[in-house]
């Protein structure tokens, strides 16, 4: 069974249009520099809530929360 980290990284990849398909996504990667924009962040939020069966409170939805995979992991775990 995949780990929560693996599931998160797999979920993130389609949102990162500037991440080469052969490049590993590090937990400290800057998602904005990899192509995640504000509109995609909304779609990503919904995908995260569905995949991990969580409800992320509005006050936790910040620019910093979507800065890196590690920050996102903290939201869903």
**Residues of the chain where predicted confidence (pLDDT) is lower than 70:** none
What pTM did the predictor assign?
A: 0.91
Instruction: Specify the pLDDT at position 1.
Output: 81
Given a contact cutoff of 8 angstroms between Cβ atoms, the answer to whether 45 and 35 are in contact is: no
Superfamily (CATH H level) for 4-76: ACP-like (1.10.1200.10)
How far from chain centre, in Å, is Cα 47? 9
- In this structure, the dihedral spanned by the alpha carbons of residues 3, 45, 13 and 2, taken in order and rounded to 10 degrees, is 10
Instruction: Specify the pLDDT at position 57.
Output: 93
């Amino acid at each position: 069974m995949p780990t929560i980290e693996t599931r998160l990284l797999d979920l993130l990849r389609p949102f990162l249009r500037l991440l080469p398909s052969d490049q590993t996504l590090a937990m400290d990667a800057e998602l904005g520099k990899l192509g995640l924009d504000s509109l995609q962040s909304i779609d990503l939020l919904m995908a995260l809530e569905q995949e991990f069966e969580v409800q992320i409170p509005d006050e936790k939805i910040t620019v910093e929360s979507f800065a890196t995979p590690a920050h996102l992991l903290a939201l869903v775990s």
